[in-house]
């Protein structure tokens, strides 16, 4: 792997946001995810490569270390902040510049769930695919999704869940949406979600990654 990509990986793994951030002490006065990502783009490394090899794989390692009790919530949070700092630089490269005329996509992380990195990536890629994206953020209750669909009758809804416990809330959100708006498509995703689960809760499409959601939307809901 390119040395700069390795450094981005380490800055996210260790939660080093930028040069001035004091955490972690062993990386004091070193560049963080912010500067390193900017530098990688300047050197011509492809944004997708930075995203896949430097950023997403680092978050996977963070998750594994958390499972093994090698790190705890505060470190996980610092990694998420470093990831978001890097993401700000990557985002413009995924904007197609097309007018957002393909339709409206409403996305949020379901009630009780505060994870937003995957959801932000999906939002970014779908916006880049030419859709107007309304991002409702995290911990979004079913009533909120319903009220925003009410304002955008032809919209498609995307739900993200990262916790096995909040999959129940995803199920309720899909049920409430389908009761009120049976014709609006609902796409679901997130680490614990599967296609089998999608079938059980009556959502229209499951994608394990952002590109699958983009392809489904842009192919006119086939996939």
- Contacting residues toward ligand B1M, per CB under 6 A: 56, 59-60, 62-63, 66-67, 73, 76-77, 79-80, 107, 112-119, 121-122, 158-160, 162-164, 187-192, 207, 209-210, 213
The nearer residue to ligand B1M, 42 or 195, going by C-beta atoms, is: 195
Shortest reach from residue 37's CB to ligand B1M, in Å: 15
| Contact indicator for 139, 111 with CB cutoff of 8 Å | yes
The nearer residue to ligand B1M, 44 or 68, going by C-beta atoms, is: 68
DSSP string, 111-136: TT----HHHHHHHHHHHHTT-EEEE-
Shortest reach from residue 64's CB to ligand B1M, in Å: 7
The nearer residue to ligand B1M, 42 or 137, going by C-beta atoms, is: 137
In DSSP terms, 156 is beta-bridged to 105
Shortest reach from residue 119's CB to ligand B1M, in Å: 5
The nearer residue to ligand B1M, 116 or 127, going by C-beta atoms, is: 116
| The two three-digit tokens of residue 196, written as one number | 């089998």
Q: How far apart are CA 56 and CA 58, in angstroms?
A: 5
The nearer residue to ligand B1M, 41 or 61, going by C-beta atoms, is: 61
Helix (H), strand (E), coil (C) string for 156-221: EEEEECCCCCCHHHHHHHHHHHHHHCCCCCEEEECCCCCHHHHHHHCCCEECCCHHHHHHHHHCCC
The nearer residue to ligand B1M, 104 or 188, going by C-beta atoms, is: 188
110 burial class (0-12, 13-18, 19+ CB within 10 angstroms)? buried
DSSP one-letter code for 29: T
Shortest reach from residue 67's CB to ligand B1M, in Å: 4
Shortest reach from residue 55's CB to ligand B1M, in Å: 8
| The two three-digit tokens of residue 150, written as one number | 């009410």
Shortest reach from residue 110's CB to ligand B1M, in Å: 10
In DSSP terms, 187 is beta-bridged to 158, 205
């Amino acid at each position: 792997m390119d040395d700069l990509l390795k450094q981005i990986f380490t800055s996210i793994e260790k939660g080093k946001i930028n040069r001035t951030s004091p955490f972690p002490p062993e990386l004091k006065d070193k560049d963080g995810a912010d500067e390193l990502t900017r530098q990688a783009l300047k050197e011509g490394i492809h944004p997708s490569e930075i995203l896949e090899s430097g950023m997403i794989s680092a978050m996977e390692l963070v998750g594994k270390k958390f499972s093994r009790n090698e790190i705890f919530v505060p470190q996980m949070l610092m990694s998420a902040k470093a990831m978001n700092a890097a993401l700000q630089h990557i985002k413009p490269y995924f904007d197609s510049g097309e007018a957002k005329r393909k339709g409206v996509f409403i996305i949020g992380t379901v009630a009780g769930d505060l994870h937003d990195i995957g959801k932000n990536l999906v939002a970014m890629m779908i916006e880049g695919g030419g859709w107007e994206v309304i991002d409702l953020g995290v911990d979004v209750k079913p009533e909120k999704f319903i009220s925003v669909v009410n304002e955008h009758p032809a919209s498609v809804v995307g739900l993200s869940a990262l916790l096995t416990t909040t999959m129940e809330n995803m199920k309720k959100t899909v049920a409430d949406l389908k009761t009120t708006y049976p014709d609006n498509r609902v796409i679901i995703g997130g680490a614990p979600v599967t296609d089998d689960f999608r079938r059980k809760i009556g959502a229209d499409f499951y994608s394990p990654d952002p590109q699958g959601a983009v392809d489904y939307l842009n192919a006119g809901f086939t996939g």
